[in-house]
Amino acid sequence: MNLEAMLADLEDLVVCESFSSDHAAVARSAKVVAAQGERLLGAAPEFVVLGGVTHLRWTFGTPRVLLLGHHDTVWPLGTLRTHPWSLVDGVARGPGVFDMKAGLVQIFHALAALPSLDGVTVLITGDEELGSLTSHQLIEDSARGLSAAFVTEASADGGALKTARKGVSNYELIVYGKAAHAGLEPAKGANAAVELAHQILAVNELASLVDEGLTTVTPTLSRAGTSSNTVPAQASVQVDVRVPDVAAQQRVHELMGALTATVPGTRLDVRGGPNRAPLEAASSAGLFALAQHVAAGLGLAPLSGVAVGGASDGNYTAGVGCPTLDGLGAVGGGAHADHEHVITAEMPGRTALLSGLVASVLRRSAAEPEGVR
């Protein structure tokens, strides 16, 4: 793998800012990614625009393996002025360099090293950092029935692959009460803020009813009232849920739906539900064992795997039954933080690993009888 060429490609992606919430910026970034992919893969992608967000997909033959990444970042336009692209002492920096533009470069260079791309699909989405609101169906459709999905999100600490990810559910709990003058006749109101306080405490205890410390149910953003002298007629709280398996996700959903109001005159409206299914260890086990074998054959250091609380688009591929291995992207750190960086010396080895994995799965799936996959 040619590190110098990879770093030139990485710079091209990083200096084209792609803040998730700016659809025009994401569209500009998609053109840069498309040009890079076309040069290295020998084919132009399909531009898929959903809800104003630009996604890219390459399909070669009958799909058997999916390589999945995203080109949007959390960094607002103008971040390059304070966090410019730099390459110093083997460390690359810049907005999105670690999460996850280096992973895109590694996809293209890994595939360029293969003699044939027959059976490969590459999907690069443009809204992962926003929860893949427009792309999740595209991801699921692209992964369904395939032999493997390889996600080049950044690695965990020390280059560990991500062999499990918690599932995510998102809720909004809204309390409706009755307004009244807080000084003249507060008793004629039904205080939604007081009821919200009861509900926040109740929600905070739900995880303990599911398992011993693996599930988290966290009240986050809350609002109440309209003025300082009015009994609040409405209040709300957002709830972030992380679960290790589908059973826990369903149990939390049942518990959220069973919440009841305690303050007379108030009522609850619970909205939302599961967003991403868990990427359970069973989904990655076979591919992780294969990765260890490929790494050994390449003379790379032994691989480690970890379970993480954060979700990725790999949750969607695993959720439709596609074996999925995540964290195959850059080695470095600082995702979403000022110290975001990539250790560039690791890029050729990670790219060779990905290339070897794709080749191995393609060979194996080609030998399987039709319908076994």
326-346 residue pLDDT tens? 999 999 999 999 999 999 999
What would the pLDDT profile of 137-165 be if each residue is shown by its tens digit? Answer: 999 999 999 999 999 999 999 999 999 99
The CA distance from 240 to 236, in Å, is 13
36: left (phi over 0), alpha (psi -120 to 50) or beta: alpha
| Residues 129 and 216 placed together within one structural domain of the fold | no
Res. 195: pLDDT tops 70: yes
Instruction: Examine residue 328 and state whether it is found in any structural domain, yes or no.
Output: yes
Q: Are residues 128 and 40 in the same domain?
A: yes
Q: What pLDDT, on the 0 to 100 scale, is given for residue 369?
A: 54
Is the same domain home to 267 and 336?
Answer: no
CA separation for the pair 114, 351 (Å, rounded): 12
**156 and 196 co-located in one domain:** no
Q: Are 141 and 174 part of one and the same domain?
A: no
Do the Cβ atoms of 177 and 195 come closer than 8 Å? yes
In a domain, 343, yes or no: yes
At which of 276, 308, 327 does a domain end? 276
At 92 the pLDDT is 98
The CATH number that applies at residue 319 is 3.40.630.10
Residues constituting the chain: 373
Residue whose tokens read 């996850």: 100
Residue 232: which residues within 8 A CB-CB, separation 6 or more? 177, 179, 191, 192, 193, 224, 225, 226
pLDDT tens track for 233-285: 999 999 999 999 999 999 999 999 999 999 999 999 999 999 899 999 999 99
231 in a domain, yes or no? yes
Instruction: Tell which residue, 298, 287, 307, 306, has the closest CA to residue 346.
Output: 298
pLDDT at 72 over 90: yes
* Residue 74 sits in the same domain as residue 26: yes
202 phi, psi to nearest 5 deg: -65, -45
| Residues 208, 141 share a domain | no
* pLDDT for res 3: 97
The model's pLDDT over 23-58, given as tens digits with 9 standing for 90+, comes to: 999 999 999 999 999 999 999 999 999 999 999 999
* Same domain for 135 and 53: yes
Q: What are the phi and psi torsion angles at 362 (to 5°)?
A: -65, -45
- Structural domain of residue 26, as residue ranges? 3-165+278-367
Q: Please indicate, yes or no, whether residues 249 and 103 belong to a single structural domain of this protein.
A: no
In three-state secondary structure terms, 174 is strand
Phi-psi region of 282 (alpha: psi -120 to 50; beta: other; left: phi over 0): alpha
Would 372 be classed as within a structural domain?
Answer: no
User: Does the pLDDT at position 371 exceed 50?
Assistant: no
Contacts with 200 (C-beta within 8 Å, 6 or more apart), sequence order: 219, 222, 237
> How many domains does the structure of the chain reveal?
2
pTM above 0.85, yes or no: yes
* Residue of 128, 280, 313, 346 with catalytic role: 128
Active site residue 72: yes
Catalytic pick from 9, 11, 17, 72?
72
Q: Give the domain-ending residue among 222, 246, 276.
A: 276
**196, 302 contact by CB (below 8 A):** no
Per the annotation, the verdict on 11 as an active-site residue is no
CATH number for the domain that contains residue 243: 3.30.70.360
